Each structure stands twice: as C-alpha cells, then as structure tokens.
Structure 1
C-alpha cells in the first residue's frame, strides 16, 4: 500500500508515490500520470530535499503550537490536550473539480434551511408524505419550543458539509453540519501557517484565497443587524475552554472583531438580551452561537444547562435579537434525513442533488430494514437521531456475539438506527516520517449566507488517516490535517479581511464594555500570576540555600520560607510547624518531592495550571506574546521527573523568566484600561497577601545579630539589589523592613501596593461616579495607608526598631482580613450583577388555551 524511496529529492519521491489499489487518488490518474493541478506545485518543490521539507514541517507545527491550536481546549488533565498537526503537502483541486463541490455545498445549505423552516412551520413535508411522521415525532432533537421562530431572528449563517470521494471519483455528502459547524477556524489557521512556511508556492500555484469567504461572513452579519441599530452589538456565544473547539471561538472573535461571551455573561430583561458589563447592561443585537447545545433556554428547553439563557427564545420571538446559527438547525445534523434528501430537493427546488448523500437506510421503514438485514456485514450502523459522527458500528469489524446483540437492538427499536454503506475514501500523498505515504482524506468545507443564497468556500479542511477503514465524522479524527488548495486558471488578486475605510469611527480612549465575567477572570489571573511568582521565588531561594555551604544553619534560615509555603498550601501543612526541624541531609533529599509531587491545592504545578486556565479564559483580550509565554510555561511544567534540587532550581529559573515575560506584557502590552486595571489590582492585592505572609514569618526570627535571614528576606522580596545600592553590605533590621514596608518608591513594598490600589480603583468604571470616593474598599485602603504612614518617624518621634516592630506586627495581623474585604467589595461591585425574578411572558399559555 505504501511506496517509499530511500534516497533522492522531494520530486523523485513524489514521482515514485503510488496510491493504494481500489481508492480514487487525488494525485495520480489510474494510468499513473500526475494530474494537471499538481504540476506547478511539483515545479516549486523541485529544488527542495527531504531536509528542507522536514524543517518547514517542523516550523509549521511549531507555529501551530505557539498559537495554541489544539483539539480539546484547557483541561486540568493536561494529557488530553492534543495538539493540532498539519501536513505541508496540500490537497490540490482544479477549478472545474471544485466548482462541483462549491455548487453542491451551497445547494445543500439552501436545502437544509428550507427543510428546517418547513418542519418548524407549515410541515408540508409531513403532510405531503415526503418524510415519515415517526422520523420527526420520535426524534428527541425535534423540539416544540423552536416552532415558528421568526426567520429574521434565527438564521443559518454558516453551514458545514462533510464530504467523501468514492473509488469512482463521485463526491458524497457524509454528514451535514448546521448546528454549530466546527472547523472553519482550523481551515483558516492552516492556510495562515502554510502561507508562512510555503509563501511562494501559494502564489505560483494561483491558489484561491479564503479571505473572500470571511468578508462575506462579516458582511452577512452586518446586513442582518443593520436594521437594528447604527452600531449593532454582536457577540460570539461560546461554551468556554472546556469545549473541544474553544480555540475556534477565540480565533473567530479576534479575527472578526466581535466580543466573546459565555451564557453567564448574558441576561434577558423585558424580552431583550443584555450583556453584563462593568458599566451595567449593554443591549445585544446579534448572537453568533458556537456551541452545539440545543438547551439554550432553561425556561423552555431541557431545564438547566450551562449554556442556557433564561428567556432567550421569547426575546427571539419578539424579534429583539438575532441568533446565528439558530438552535432549530441542529435537527438536520442527525443522519436520519439523508435517505429523503433527493426527493425533498426535487420537491422544493425542482433540482437534482449536485452532490448526493451517501447511501443511507432508515431502519424505521420495513423495506430499508429488510435490506439492512440482508447486507448487515457490509454496512456501518449509527444512531438515527444522534449528531452524525457520534457512535457508529462497523459491522464487519465486530465479533459474532457483538453483531447479534446489535442486530437485536435494532430489531427492538428499528426507528432508532440508520445504516450507511462503507466507502474507501480518496487518497493523496502525505509527508510522514520522511516519506510520502498515501493518506485517506476526509474533507469538510463550508457555505455562508449571502442575502437569499449561499456562497461556498474556495477551500476547506482535510483530515488524514492512513488506514482505509471508515473515519469518524469529527474534526478530531485522523492523524493530521491538510490545507485545501483550489487552483485558479488565472492569477488570484490579493484580498484582505481588512476593510476599506467607509466611515470615520468616533475617537475612543477606552472600551468599558468589558463583561463582568471577563473582569473577574482578569482579576484572578493577576492574583494567580503574582502567587505563582512569589511561590517560585520562595522555592528557588530554599533550593539555593540547600546548595550553599552553611551546614545545619541553612535549615534555620529556610524554615520561615518553608512555613510560608505550608501556610498557603504549597507544601504539606505539617512541614511549616515550628517543631519540624529536619536535618539538612534529609531536607535536601526530600525537597524536590515535597515541592513537585505533593497534591495540595496550592502546589506549584496547580498554580501554573490555574494561570494557564485563566489565561485561556481571557485569551481574546491578551496579546499574542502573552499567550506564547503562557504556552511556554505549559511546556516547562511537563518535565519527565524532578530528581534533584538542581533540576528543581533549573525549572523555577525557567518559570521565573516566563512569568517576567507575562508581567511585562501586562504592564507594557496592554493599554491603560479595564483589562489592565483588573490584572494589576489582582496582582497588587496578592502581592500584599504574600508580603504579609513572608514579613510575618521573618518578623519572628530576625535581629541585628544574624544577617543571613535579612539577606534571604530581601532576596525573596526581589529587593536585594535596591538595598545594596543604598546601604552596601550593611544589613540591619530597620532599613530592611523600611524598604519592604514603608518605602513608597519600592514596587515590592507594602505601602506601594496600597498606593497603586488607590490609583487603579479611581480609574475603574464605577456605575455611580461618586463610588470611587465613598466606596468601602477605598476606606480600607485609606486606613491602611494611614497606619503605615504612622510607622515612619516624625520630628518629635524618632524611628526605633522596637516601636516599628510593634506597630508593624499589629498591621500585619489584620492584613488578611482587609485583603479579603477589598476582594469581596470588588466582587459585589463589578463581578456579580444581581438578577431579579420576573414573570415569564404568557405566550405559551395563550397558545395552548
């Protein structure tokens, strides 16, 4: 099945490639000649050798990794995060070949829209006998709540089509994707990566661009919302980072310039949809739905759902919001409709299907069930009403007992199953392991609404599988992906999504329409970044002292730091007790495992994962460099094993560099607005908490007789160089604590945090403009600043350590409560918008009466 050439350049290897017997090959004809659309690519590849191609492939996959392109989003079990991979060699299609695909997919989208409008409207397909009644009324995906939703409030914006090519070269529709089609962002990302690694090849091969498709996508959204307001509010509704394709949601939000939201960000008041923002509620005109959950309104559909918005369907009925794609279109994602598509197309359009459906039999009809029984071993069995691409049973690969059980299940509930023929998908050469192997291709392409018709994409996404067996109809299937190149017969003009200037926008200095959930995530991201950095410095300093030459004295110096780590859950709590004083040898041996292998809630790995998780939640608001630094951190915390203190020290050093890069992006990469403010507020409050913790521990131990704890304290607080520049090597308790507590010029001093908090709170968009002056959090900050000021000397009260220590001890003992009070006030003011109970519209009561 595989042809390999041991030596030679890329051209020689491609010429020696042979597709498998019985499959339609996209590269060579049955006679062994290369198809015309590949000729220009082969000319471009002629000067490359395998080392060049492997280098470019490595570069492409590195770009995908840096961009955070993956298949599962963030999950606490990081092993489930599968990277997206690409084969540099595209799948090439001629203009004539692709015209069939583009026309067929556009027709299919038009047909899907017509079917859904009919089934949730006049239902002529049922009354005219084109669809059996059991197919609808035994279908759990058919939901009464979606009946007669206004077409202007619920549209099919984007349609995805899963295609396969049989050994004869015939295209078949394998599955419809009308609910929330995945893959469009992966398609564009693949093209962007290829354009960076093989830029001249795209130009020389005259490949159609993808930008016109996305321009039409933007234009359609604009047209659908233009009648609502001069400046319509458009949001992309996502399920969040736990969703398998969250990358796509973030990508689309950034690429199209729309706000990314989750269900909790939206609320319905008086049949209007509102976005909860820092400044209050902002009206929403268009919702682009990116999750497949049909339970979008718990008042009417399915009860509670994390993706549900109470009252949303009523807002749509009142034509106060447009949803794209509407929830009713998910009905056609199930394969049970495929046997009837040909007749329905003739019924609605008097047309034949340009691309037929794969041969499908619904077992709810006796003749179809009889055929399935007669050809059972030749078919693929699937649930009739489930999303196409869910469970499937390849009968020929099942043992006899499993076949009998499946047969009995179908016999018991025949309407619940469909059967489809198996096809051997087409193949194309793939560069895998320094050789060209035939890969079987699963193509997904898309159509977008364009006024009263649909426009197909000049491109698509291909997933590759080396085995010839049926491939699951999911984006995650296959070993890698390919870009689709549709070759034009003439040069392709450059097209960009960047629109020409049509009207001069209003000058703005800030955008306060930050969703409350996003502000909350930013605040906690700031806190966790600071907590991780401080914990890293503690761990690194303990490791440094372990490697020093001061014998048992080392243990006495490091125990305050160990106590700090234990108090906040970084290590076992028992290790922070005063009576725990191990020998240096034992501590040196146990320290790597204590830090890296503990399962406490505040452990080092857990803090890193929280930073990564929260970063993924606000990725649409952060710079690309911020995200790259976060991904580097994700790679850093995956060492095979930390075996020694030196290993741990290397890891913390690398993490400190990455945290510094992240902090630099926060301070210099973001404009001075709410996004930056909440990150810095979280950082200042967490730094206050960490400083309080470490100062309290060292305050118990230090005196002027022992210099080393003072040096350690300054190092942990990132202030050692500042101290040396002022006092050289003259270490004394009073100047050390003054620098870390009451020096307003030191960004790592306690008083500096409260000065910063005062400034940042004054910049927040309080709904009541007087609030920054009268808020409880402002009072707490004013009180702390006054108490810290009282520690400093006056003309009639000189500075002395005894008084300073007594006053500082009192302040530190009450600091945790104050930090908690400020955090609670911020939560109630900005992060939580109180909901109120309202009477549900009596629409259904009137209709049922």
Structure 2
C-alpha cells in the first residue's frame, strides 16, 4: 500500500480560498476546463481550482490578465525568438536534411508554493537515499534478493543490471539524479519514473529560466523566487568530491555521446554551467588502467566522468562490442578505482519499472520508515496474484515492460486495439516476470499559450538533485513538459510536449542578499592548464576557417554583384570585361559553376545555394555546425549573432530585388561573429587553434584572389578597374587612394595592390600579416616546428621584390603566389596530421566460442 505525500505534508496544491477568475482570457480557460469531456488521464489544474484561482497563482494570473491574448501571443513569439537566438536545440538532423529542432518552450511557468515544494523536497531526498541503498545492495550482498524483499527475477532479468560492474564500489555513489513527477487526481504528487543512470534536462531547466525571465521580466522582478544558479555550483562541487582520494586536484569531464545526440545542447550548456570540459570517446584513452584526456604529444589524467552516454555503450570491451561511443577499458578503470563514473554504470537497474511494487517494502527494510513520495499502485506479473490482478484489470492499467528504452514501450490497456490487446495478454502470460501493471496517473494540467487561446496541457515535472557531503541538494524548480491535445500516456519532449519553466516561490523567512557572509568560496588548487583534445582543436580550427571563408565569399561576391549591376548590360566595355574577370576569379575560388551568359543568376547561386560547397550559404551553415560542436568553448553571445545570420540567410530576396542589401546584412552578422570571438576568448590554446584557422583561410583566399586576377596581364584600362575591385574586396581601397594622393605608396595601381594585399605586414587583410599571426598562433598551441615553418614563409614573403614580381607578363608574381599557396597548404596538412589526429575506428572482433572435439 503506497503512502503519497498529502496536503498536510505540503505536497498538494496550496490550501486557502481560491480567488475569483475575472479576466476574459482566464475565464475562457476556466470554461475550457469545465467543458472538457471526462477522461481518466486528466486531473486537477495548476492554475484554476473549481471556479477560482489557487492562491499561489495570483501573481501569474494578474500578469496573464494584464497581457490579454495579444500580449500572450507576443510573449509566445518572443519566447520562440529568444530560444532561436540562444541556439537552444532538441533533436538531431534526419536523412531528409532537416536541421536540429528549436526547443519548444511555453512562456507561462508552472508555479509551486514554498510549502508545497518543501514537502516535495523531503520526499525526493528520502527516495534518493533509498535508491542509493538499493543500488549498493544489488551490487553488493544482495540481501534484498536473498530475503525476498525484491524478487531476484526483477533485478537479474533487467538489462540495466550489469554483471560486469558487480561488487565495484563507486566513490560518491549516486552523485546526481532526477525524478519525473505528476499529480494524482487528489492533487498529491506521484513518481512517474526515476532517472538514476544518466539524467538529462538540468541544462534545459536553466535555459528555460533564462528565457522566461526575459519574456516575463516584470513578473519575474516582482516575484520572490528560489534561484537556480546555486544548484549548479553545488552540483559541480559534488561531482569533484566524487573523485578518487588520490586526486589532489580532480579533473572532471562531461562524457558525451557527441553532437548528434538529441540532447547535445543540454550537455554542452551543462558543461559550461559546471565548468567541466565536454569530452567524447575520441578525446579519451585508457593507459595503465586509468583514463586520460588526449592532446598532441601529451595526456592529462581524468578522475571523474560525469556520464551522459548510456551504460551499455560505454565500453566495447566489457559491454556492448559494437559501440562507437564507448571507451575500451573504461570498466577496468572503475574496477581499479582510478576513475569515478557518475552515475555508476549499473545505476540503470534503478529505472526498472519492476521495482515499483516493492519500493515500500524496501524502504521499511533499509530505512525503517514508509516511503513519502511514491508512484501509483503497481503489480508485478511474476507473482501469481499480481498476474491475476493485471489480467483481470487489463483495460484500466498501464502495462510496462521491465526492459524499457528499446522496441518495447508502455501501453494503456484501454487504448489498444482488440487484436493488439489479446497479443499483449498472450505475451504477458508467456513471460509474466517481464511485465508490470500499474494504475495510470491522471496528471494535472497547466495553461499553454496557443493561437486559439490558453489550452490545458498535461504536466510532468522533472526534478533534479546532487549529493554533496552526504546530503542531497534538490534544484528549487525543474523542467516541466506539457502535452497538448488528446490525452497521451507519454508526456515527453520526444513525443512533442512543450517545455515550461518551474517557479518555486521563496519561503517568507528566506533572507535576501548574497547569503551567509561567513561562508567563503571554495578554493581549488591551481593545476596546469587543460589540454585541448584533437576533436576540439579540429572543430575550433574549422570554426575559424568557415567564419573567414564565409566573410571572404561575402566580400568578393558583394563587389561582383555591384559590378554586375553596373556593367552586365554593357557588353564589350572595359567595365564589363573587369566584371567578367572578377566573376571568373570568384568562380575559381568558390568552385561554384555558372553560366557566363547569366552573371546575375551566377552570383545569386554563389551566395544562396546551400548545396554548393563553395557558396556563402554553405560556409555559413558549416560555421554554425562547427560552433555547435564546440559550444562549451564559446561565449553565449555568439548564438544571438549566429541566429541573426541564420535568419538573414533564410530570407533571400527575390530575383526582382537587388542582392546588395542582403549581402551587407550577411557581412554585418559575420563581422559581429568575428567581434564576439576576438573580444571574448582568452588567448590560450583554444584561441590559437581558432585564430590559426582564420589566418590560414584569409591568407589562402587572398593568394587565390591575387593569382586569379592580378597575376595575369590585361590592357591598362581593364587592369586598373580590376585592381580597384580587388582592393575593395581586400578592404584596402581607402588606404590605396590615401597613399597614392599623399605620395606614400607605389605609383602604379598594380604595385599598390600587391604591396597592400601581399607584402604589407601592417595591413590585417594582407598575406604577410596573416602569416605573422599564424606563426604566433602556432607558438600559442605549442607547435614550435610548424611555427618555425610559418616564420620561414613570412621571411620568404618579406623578400619579394615588388617591381620584379609585377614586371612583364607577371609570371613572376604567379610563381611567387603559387609557392606561397603550396606552403600554406603544407602547413594546413601538417597541422591536421600533427594536432587533429583522431583515434582509429574501434571494433571488437567476434570470437567463436564453439568447442571442437
């Protein structure tokens, strides 16, 4: 018999006389609630109680009343814009080319009173303590199984029970955890699921708070809320505390399945909040029984993995052999005690629905007390009486397989077609130990803003905790999901639910300010700077290259488009020939084919076609992809700029409109990207790789531009116009004109252009300047061999004789540019080979264990 938290414990909706619903918007919502058809999966509402409002909802209701429907729709639009600008994503790209999906967030939060939350917090702490004791027993003495408190089949038959880590003691135990909660019909909270293996969503919870506080700024300022930031400080300390005792200064990494994970944003944002680097299996290696973070020529020991990879994929040697996400030898490192995995690899057994009928008995056995926060009553079909009850009550129960997460899923008996119902009954009778029947949880509703008004969405709240110094600290809030539409059994982001922030009202006795002035910040010993893994270095390098490539393409195509507008309709003129020369150069550089007879269409294709690998749009898209792969390394400000760039590129002007305004808007965003990068990154190894990509790309582009234009002799009048166009592409036309008038530079335009764009070490757009900066970046990343090669190339460029190079048919200039280009490509190839080398693809060889006579 379960004992849910009751109103006396502060877990049910706050008591007190509801206030009247006055506004048209809320009155319409209340009418919607009254007029809904009866359904067993529908419970109380979070905002409206009967004919009035719940007392703790008054501030939210007043804000809704003040906004009205126009204001709510504006808030909905602003929420979507901020989600896009912050780059909050959920899901992965599909084969149809669909990009990652924007996170779906409703502007209205779920509000919980301080008293209600206090009761919930106690229940969560007790449940977490119980689950940790169960975990330790199942991978230790297994007294619960020996004494029959929990049937052995429930545990040993569950795929989450990993025999490979049996009797492996994990320092810190369950370091973090999460629980999905919902309200019962009487308003009390119940547990839907325990997330003890690799709980996700804490990053999304903080992202939700950042958005809603901006959208509802006035309401947020006037509401005393419990803040979330402190929880992440506690969580960071808790994870570091779990390190093996031999670690003087623990090194922690967030172990991620990679950028193709559907929760990649959550992982990278959480890593930023906690201050831990994000690492994939390619970034790690096991040597001498411990885990190391890889970098070129050196390794750094790792003490704790905060795991987001599913346990069975973590080690292809001991666990799933076909895993490409795992780290061979990881399990052995945990056995030796050189590494703590948080949470332990075997913790997935605690997510087993088969435990639900036995948790109350386990609580009495291990804690000596009733469990405060429980799920709905459940029956294990492996028990004869339980099987009989499930089969007799089949149509009103939720039928859950013990092994969740695979092809099997939970079903509500009443929702199954007759044939499917009979098939499932036969399967249960054939393997009764593998199934559990449970009463469905109605779930409360909360208002969701839609174009047709406020509609009720069924709410599930995910709560989070971290264990530090033996105490479990619960995040004061969490991640709510609301399912809108016909009642469904599953309310989750993957099923299309919309997220909501959870606001916990601060208790009236809470002190404002910065907390206890006697508490000093935790001191962490200074350790050598962190290494940059090859995967991270590679993505930073290409982030810089694609940022520069997009900007360079934008500059040359802006000048091309300007010339096309002026001269395309004047065939045979010098201007038209200069236009065609620059257009040919742009075609050579971008490798985007086009019809010479259609210059306008050709320029538009080079700007907008995402399928052409040399187009501006393609480079900008790759820039965004590279940024997502190293999100934890970048300033949050960059996502606003990248989102603006994405919106600009998505709205291409029609053929009847000029392309120039579009190109100026694109370049404005790209310059903002460069500015955020330059002004927000510390000049350490990460900057060296990123800026090195920028400098190498700029030098290669400028060399290619000069080779395709000025390295070929043309009639003077055409040559003059083309030279000015090249100087404009290189942002050096004003310096050229100023120096020419003042007599400070070469007289001939070709000499001035080559001097400014190839040789001038003070011009940020010149090849010489870029090579000098590249050498500095290579010193910064610690590659003295390549830095020496870059310095030698800089000396080679400095020795170029300007007059001799530009004399005659300019073959000398073409040869010099060819040599510089080859040297730049060599540096790029050497850098890739030396610093970006990935681990070889891993594969566990199958072994034939057949016994031969």
- TM bucket normalised to smaller: 0.7 to 0.9
Equivalent position to 2:834, from 806, 826, 829: 829
Aligned twin of 1:119: 138
Q: Do the aligned partners of 1:787 and 1:811 also contact (CA within 8 Å) in 2?
A: no
State the Cα distance separating 1:683 from its structure 2 match.
1.2
How much does 1:528 deviate?
1.4
Residue 745 (structure 1) aligned with residue 765 (structure 2): no
What are structure 1's unaligned runs of at least 5 residues? 576-580, 767-771, 838-849
Which stretch of structure 1 is more off in the superposition, 32-41 or 557-566?
Answer: 557-566
- Identify if the C-alpha distance between structure 1 residues 388 and 828 changes in structure 2 by more than 3 Å, giving closer, same or farther: closer
8 A Cα contact 1:389 1:472, kept in partner: no
Equivalent position to 2:701, from 666, 690, 713: 690
- Structure 2 equivalent of residue 681 of structure 1: 692
Aligned to 2:636: 624
| Residues 141-540 of structure 1: pairs in structure 2 closer than 5 A | 141-152=160-171, 155-199=173-217, 201-202=219-220, 204-225=222-243, 227-277=245-295, 280-387=298-405, 391-410=409-428, 413-433=431-451, 435-467=453-485, 469-494=487-512, 501-502=520-521, 511=529, 513-540=531-558
In the alignment, does 2:785 pair up with 1:785?
no
In the TM superposition, what are the counterparts of 1:735-774 in structure 2 within 5 Å? 735-766=752-783, 772=784
* 1:571 corresponding residue in structure 2: 592
Check 1:536–1:449 CA distance in 2 against 1; reply closer, same or farther (3 A cut): same
Deviation string, structure 1 residues 88-137 (Cα, Å, up to 9, x no partner): 33323333433332222222222222222222222223222333333334
Query: How large is the Cα RMSD of the aligned pairs?
Result: 3.6
1:614 and 1:121 map into 2 onto residues whose CA distance is: 45
* Cα 1:452–1:759 shift into 2, 3 Å: closer
Pair 710,582 (structure 1): closer, same or farther in 2 beyond 3 Å: same
The corresponding residue for 1:638 is 650
Structure 2: gaps of 5 or more residues: 1-19, 843-853
Contact 2:482 / 2:491 at 8 angstroms: preserved in 1? no
- d(CA) in 1 for partners of 2:685, 2:27: 58
Structure 1 position 653 matched with structure 2 position 667: no
1:783 to partner: Cα distance: 4.2
> Between Structure 1 and Structure 2, how many residues are aligned?
809
Distance 1:6 1:40 in 2: 13
Residues 422 and 470 in structure 1, CA contact (< 8 A), matched pair in contact too: no
Instruction: Give yes or no for contact 1:363–1:419 (8 Å, CA) kept in 2.
Output: yes
The residue that corresponds to 2:10 in the other structure is: none
C-alpha distance in 2, partners of 1:498/1:665?
A: 36
Aligned partners of 2:357 and 2:611: how far apart in 1? 54
How far, CA to CA, are the matches of 1:137 and 1:490 in structure 2?
48
Contact 2:244/2:337 (<8 A) preserved: no
Aligned to 2:14: none
What are the residue-to-residue correspondences of 1:699-738 with 2, within 5 Å? Answer: 699-700=711-712, 702-706=714-718, 707-727=720-740, 732-738=749-755
Q: Which residue of 2 aligns with 1:809?
A: 814
Please tell me whether the aligned partners of residues 182 and 475 of structure 1 are also in contact (alpha carbons under 8 angstroms): no
Kept in 1, the 8 Å contact 2:160–2:347? The answer is no
Asked if 1:582 corresponds to 2:582, the answer is no
The aligned residue for residue 58 of structure 2 is 39
How far has the Cα of 1:446 moved from its partner? 1.9
Q: Distance in 2 between matches of 1:748 and 1:469?
A: 60
Note closer, same or farther for the CA distance 1:445–1:657 as it changes in structure 2 (3 Å cut): same
Task: Tell me if the contact between 1:26 and 1:92 (Cα under 8 Å) persists in the aligned partners.
Answer: no
Per mean C-alpha deviation after superposition, the further-off stretch among 658-667 and 329-338 is 329-338
Whether contact under 8 Å (1:76, 1:609) holds in the other structure is no
Give the 3-state SS of the residue equivalent to 1:517 in structure 2: helix
Range with greater deviation from structure 2 (250-259 or 90-99) = 90-99
CA–CA separation in structure 2 for the residues paired with 1:91 and 1:343: 33
Measured at CA, do residues 31 and 745 of structure 1 come closer, stay the same or move farther in structure 2, by a change above 3 Å? Answer: closer
Report the 3-state secondary structure (helix = DSSP H, G, I; strand = E; otherwise coil) of the residue aligned with 2:125: helix
8 A Cα contact 2:606 2:614, kept in partner: no
**Alignment CA distance shift 1:220-1:740 (3 Å):** closer
Q: List per-residue Cα deviations over 1:524-573 (Å, max 9, x = no partner).
A: 1111111222222233333222222452356643444554555466523x
Q: State the TM-score, normalizing by the size of structure 1.
A: 0.86
* Alpha-carbon separation, structure 2, partners of 1:400 and 1:497: 60
The Cα of 1:614 is off from its aligned counterpart by 0.9
TM-score, normalised relative to structure 2: 0.85
Contact 1:745 1:752 (C-alpha < 8 Å) held by counterparts: yes
Per the TM alignment, residue 611 of structure 1 is displaced from its structure 2 partner at its CA by 0.6
Mapped contact 2:293–2:300 kept (Cα < 8 A): yes
Change (3 A) 1:307 1:713: same
The 1:836–1:608 alpha-carbon spacing in structure 2 relative to 1, beyond 3 Å, is: closer
Residues 1:86 and 2:105 are matched in the alignment: yes
Question: How many Å separate the matches in 1 of 2:663 and 2:301?
Answer: 46
Task: State the 1:660 CA deviation.
Answer: 0.7
Structure 2 residue aligned with 1:596 = 608
Q: For the Cα contact (< 8 Å) 1:592–1:645, is it kept in 2?
A: no
Question: Any conservation in 2 of the 1:9–1:48 contact (CA below 8 Å)?
Answer: no
Q: 1:503 to 1:458 in 2, by over 3 A?
A: closer
Matched, 1:138 2:157: yes
- 1:723 is displaced (CA, Å) by 2.0
Q: Deviations over 1:255-305 (max 9, x none)?
A: 222222222222222122222246721222222112334321222111243
Deviation at 1:417, TM superposition (A): 4.2
Q: Which residue of 2 aligns with 1:578?
A: none
Instruction: Give, in angstroms, the shift of residue 15 of structure 1.
Output: 7.3
Cα distance in structure 1, aligned partners of 2:325 and 2:215: 39
